[in-house]
Amino acid sequence: MKARFFMSGFATALTLVLTLTCASADVAEWKKRLPGKYRLTYSGKFLSLEAVKSYHADGSYESMGKAKILGIEKKLVHRGRWKLENGELIYLLSQSSTPSEAPVGVPLKFKVVSHDGKIMRYRDQQRDKNYSEERIGDATKSDNSKRQDEK
């Protein structure tokens, strides 16, 4: 149960996007608008999250922060790929500092609710949780050129 709370929160935490009806033209437009840095904060009864998430134009993704699950604090470092498909933001992790809660290679899916250019809202329907991320900095820059190489 702890793993489910964390996976949903973090990937969400990971995680975003726009008022979307997912026609292919909309998906292409959202893929252009999504890249950038976002701050995720979430506070629930058993889980709280704080993370900075970076979505890169090449489809790569990284998230760094911390989670508190049932009072136990954990450092979060997640890297992988993101994509938009059928109205969902999907993460596929290649690196996870918390593999029992957010396993590598398992798709994490979130229903996109809205994105107004500053705030992205999405929902983990399986766990009935809503998340939001606030864009940090200039929406026209993806920070792809500033990203450090993954080791």
Domain ranges in the chain are 2-139
Question: Measured between alpha carbons, how far is 132 from 151 in angstroms, rounded to an integer?
Answer: 29
DSSP annotation of 117 reads S
- The CATH number of 2-139 is 2.40.128.280
Tens of pLDDT, residue by residue over 44-91, are 888 899 999 999 999 999 999 999 988 899 999 999 999 999 889 999
pTM for this predicted structure? 0.72
Distances in Å between the alpha carbon of 68 and those of 31, 55, 124?
31, 23, 18
